Amino acid sequence: MRKLDPRSFKVVPGRYYQTPKELWGFRSERGDGPPDRIARAFLEAHADTLGIDLGPLFQKEPRIVHGLGAEHVIFQQRWKRRRVHRAYVTVHIGAKDRRVYLVKSRAAPPQVLRSAPLERIGEARATRTALARVRRRGRTRVVDRPELLWYPAKKLLHPAWRVRVHRTTPRAEYLIYVNAETGSVIDVYDNLAALTGRGRVFLPNPMARDRRFEPLDEQDEVRRPTARSYAEVSLAGLKGTGCLDGSRATTRLTRRRLKKPDHDFRVDWNRVGFEEVSAYHHLDRAIAYLESLGYRGARRIFAAPLEVDARGTPEDNSWYSPGERTLTFGLGDVDDAEDGETVLHEFGHALQDAICRDFGQSPEAAAMGEGFGDYFAASFFERAKPERYRLTVMSWDGAFFEGDPPCVRRLDSPHTYETFDHSPGDHEHANGEIWSAALWQVRAALGRRKADRIIIDSHFQLDAFTTFARGARAILDADRNLHGGTNQAALLRVFHRRGIGPLE
């Protein structure tokens, strides 16, 4: 096969290696013979363009996947007879015209292969390390024989053992990569396919879907939600235990847990378990939203699935425990976990604590914690709610509160920092309305996703004893880091109107 002019390729550069990650936007000449022969001929003609050595790719026969419109030839890179983890070169060939049109490369270049160190840790020690990493309760055992391979990490290759571990309770199957040079764990991956269940919740309250529904009747008793008040939802990421145990959240702390082997968790408002389903679903979706913003859930922010007690106290109170890193919801008046905004308000505390440990140890930091929780919950559900409820937070949980409509708090407080109550006492909720109103105005100026990213990212430079002024400066810094400061003028207008500063 003839070599193409390098200028005919569109190139996606690699992140760590100085070699192309993809070649696309071209069509080679028509190839002859089976797909693997065409792919080999193309790679031999363009090895210098890709910057790779073909010997480690051609040690074993490639895998060929036959699609409807194309055939895909997958070469696995090997070095010193060991597989290089995730190091593939794939060649994509039109099924009809037999022309190569795309090449993807995750192969390590020759200089990286040659610099790889030798292993020092044997199979037995790697196995003990892997078992210790996941053994909590239940039986664990190694499935298949551990594999010695090369594990890429940025610009380096590490010798590593891949150990597959099966655990019975809770059911899990992990792929654990142990550094064969140092003995440390490089990565743990839950290899069981996550299950999806079904549930019934409010999004975030009964009024959102039944616009004519009123929370209280003439005797000031809570009305029974109508059939239109519910939303049928998927419960993602379930581990297959028959309970609400997932990759992002678990209700394992809840007494009298729902157990549904068929993963159908649809129960009505007046049945035990409704609040448990609600807490699981809303937490899972909130963390998934963070992941869509660029934060990778348990890997980037949370060390493990959030543990929830959906019926933890008979009082009308809910909380996040920084010491135990758990969420607890109360049953007084309206069960707190029934209200999606109450769930996400408490999640706001968990998120702040995961980023900045023990956040909220000064009066202003505590108010910022309450304000951020209100903001995050309201921002998440703003589009789902009727216009009348858009500036309220926790309207179902606050059905017995005053206001029109009744709610626990609002986002349109007229107060500024000058009205901040510094006197002794628990004023963080009232003071927090100053901060939540400022954040809501930031959202109005920038839009939801941009505002959420900037506000969340600002927490990484705060401490547990922060102030409104430092929080505002952190938001300005986050905008500078994420968007080159293009929103500085709009942000400064918001904070100046609220009397939050100095910011210079």
Smallest Cα–Cα separation from 121: which of 151, 96, 83?
Answer: 151
404-410: long-range contacts, CB 8 A cutoff, minimum separation 24: 405/207, 406/215, 406/216, 408/342, 409/374, 409/433, 409/436
Taking a C-beta distance cutoff of 8 angstroms, is the pair 380, 373 a contact?
Answer: no
pLDDT reported for residue 298:
43
- My answer on whether 336 and 462 are in the same domain is yes
Taking a C-beta distance cutoff of 8 angstroms, is the pair 442, 451 a contact?
Answer: yes
What contacts 364, CB < 8 A, 6 or more positions away? 420, 431, 466, 467, 468
Predicted confidence (pLDDT) per residue in 459-472, tens digit: 888 888 899 998 99
315 in any annotated domain? yes
User: pTM of this prediction?
Assistant: 0.67
What contacts 284, CB < 8 A, 6 or more positions away? 235, 236, 237, 246, 248, 249
Smallest Cα–Cα separation from 93: which of 110, 111, 69?
Answer: 69
- My answer on whether 321 and 451 are in the same domain is yes
How many structural domains compose the chain? 3
For 457, other C-beta atoms within 10 Å of its C-beta total: 20
370 in any annotated domain? yes
Structural domain range at position 278: 268-504
Buried b (16+ CB within 10 A) or exposed e, 324-343: ebbbbbbbeebbbbbbbbbb
d(CA 318, CA 344): 11
- My answer on whether 275 and 361 are in the same domain is yes
For residue 185, give the CATH number of its domain.
3.10.450
Burial class from Cβ neighbours inside 10 Å (0-12, 13-18, 19+) for residue 491 reads buried
- My answer on whether 337 and 482 are in the same domain is yes
200 in any annotated domain? no
- My answer on whether 64 and 176 are in the same domain is no
pLDDT reported for residue 16:
85
Predicted confidence (pLDDT) per residue in 75-126, tens digit: 999 999 999 998 999 999 998 899 999 999 999 999 999 999 999 999 999 9
For the packed helices 468-483 and 428-446, what is the interaxial angle rounded to 10 degrees?
Answer: 20
d(CA 13, CA 33): 31
- My answer on whether 94 and 132 are in the same domain is no
402 in any annotated domain? yes
Work out whether strand 172-179 and strand 185-190 pair parallel, antiparallel, or are unpaired.
Answer: antiparallel
Please tell me what DSSP assigns to residue 222. Answer: B
- My answer on whether 147 and 74 are in the same domain is no
pLDDT reported for residue 217:
85
The structure tokens 């193409």 sit at 4
Give one DSSP letter per residue of 367-418, joined into a string.
HHHHHHHHHHHHHHHGGGS-GGGTTEE-TTTTTTS-BTTB-SEES-----GG
80 in any annotated domain? yes
- My answer on whether 100 and 140 are in the same domain is no
3-state per-residue secondary structure call for 183-201? CCEEEEEECCCCEEEEEEE
Smallest Cα–Cα separation from 443: which of 452, 434, 435, 431?
Answer: 452
Longest dimension (CA), the chain: 85
d(CA 464, CA 458): 13
pLDDT reported for residue 193:
56
d(CA 111, CA 114): 5
- My answer on whether 441 and 298 are in the same domain is yes
- My answer on whether 159 and 291 are in the same domain is no
36 in any annotated domain? yes
Taking a C-beta distance cutoff of 8 angstroms, is the pair 17, 115 a contact?
Answer: no
For residue 415, give the CATH number of its domain.
1.10.390.10
97 in any annotated domain? yes
Residues of the chain with pLDDT below 50 are 297-299
- My answer on whether 101 and 140 are in the same domain is no
